[in-house]
Structure 1
Amino acid sequence: MSTITRTLTNLWRVGIKDYFHQLQNIGDTKAGTLIGVDRLGNKYFENNEELPLRTRWVDYKSSDFDTAQIEPGWHAWMAYTVDKPPSQDPLLAYKRRVWEDTDAKTILNYTATRGAYKPYSTCVTTTLYPSVY
C-alpha cells in the first residue's frame, strides 16, 4: 500500500490512462524508466527510488497474464540475479534454437489446465478396498 503523496506523484508522472491500467493490473501505481520489451510484448520497468526489491516490475501485454510468460533472461533480471537486463547483455538476450517454433506466441504453458501433461499411472489404488485397521 502506498501513501497518498506517492500515489498522486505517480499519477502526475504516468498519466491518467496508465494510472488506471496499473491499478487494475498490479494494484499499485509505479513510475519508472522503460528498460526493455521482450518478444511477447511485455514491458519491463525500473525505478531505484522505490523500496528495496520492489524497484523492478513487468507490465504484461495481455490481461490474462502468467509468470510463465516472462523469458528466462528477463526473469533473471527481475529476480535481481543479474544487474544488466537482456536488452544490454548479449549473453542473456534471446536466441532462437533450431528445434523451437518460429512464433513465440504459439508456445503455451498448459500447467494447471486440462491440457497439462499427466503420466500414465500403474499404481493400484486402495480406494475400492480400504484396509480395516
Structure 2
Amino acid sequence: MSTITRTLSNLRKIGIKEYIMQMVYIGDTKYGRLVGQDRAGNKYYENMQELPLRTRWVDYKKHDYDASQIEPGWHAWISYAVDKPPSEDPLLRTGDNKWDLQKAVPNFTATSGNYITYNTTKQKVRSWEPQAVERQ
C-alpha cells in the first residue's frame, strides 16, 4: 500500500487512464522509466526511488499474470540476476540465443493439462467407487 502523497504524485505523472488501469490490474500506482519491450508486447519499467526489490516491474500485454510469458533475458533482469536489461546487454539481446526461438509454454499447474508422472508401483490405497443399483 502506498501513501497518499506518492499516489497523487504518480497520478500526476502517469495520467488518469493509466492510473485507473494500474489500480484495476495491480492495485497500486507505479511510475518509472520504460526500460524496454519484449516480442510479446510486455513492457518493463524501473524506478530507483521505490523500495528495495520493488524497483523493477513488468506490465503484461495479456493480463493473465504468468511468469512463463516473460522471455529468459528479461526474466533474469526482472529477478535481479543481472544488472543490465536485454535491451542494453549484448549477451542477453533477443534473437541472439538458441532458446529465444522456443515458444513460451504456460504453467498448467492445477489445471486439466498438468503433468502426471507414470507410476509402475501398485497403489496401496484405492479410491472408493460407489455401486449404484438400478431401480425397479
TM-score range, shorter chain: 0.7 to 0.9
Residue in structure 1 matched with residue 114 of structure 2 by the alignment? 116
Opposite residue 124 of structure 1, the aligned amino acid is: K
TM-score (norm 2): 0.82
Percent identity at matched positions? 56
Opposite residue 119 of structure 1, the aligned amino acid is: T
TM-score (norm 1): 0.84
* Partner deviation per Cα, 1:36-58 (whole Å, 9 max, x = no partner): 00111100000111111111100
TM alignment of 1:58-97, pairs within 5 A: 58-95=58-95, 97=98
Report which of the two structures shows the higher radius of gyration computed on alpha carbons. Answer: 2
| C-alpha distance in structure 2 between counterparts of 1:59 and 1:99, whole Å | 20
| C-alpha distance in structure 1 between counterparts of 2:112 and 2:121, whole Å | 21
SS in 2 for 1:11: helix
| C-alpha distance in structure 1 between counterparts of 2:100 and 2:74, whole Å | 21
Opposite residue 12 of structure 1, the aligned amino acid is: R
**Can you give the 5+ residue segments of structure 2 that lack an aligned partner in the other structure?**
127-136
Q: Does 1:26 align with 2:23?
A: no
Residue in structure 2 matched with residue 46 of structure 1 by the alignment? 46
| C-alpha distance in structure 2 between counterparts of 1:54 and 1:37, whole Å | 19
Residue correspondences, number: 125
Distance 1:21 1:92, change over 3 A: same
Deviating more after overlay: 41-50 vs 116-125:
116-125
| C-alpha distance in structure 1 between counterparts of 2:122 and 2:29, whole Å | 53
SS in 1 for 2:122: coil
Deviating more after overlay: 89-98 vs 32-41:
89-98
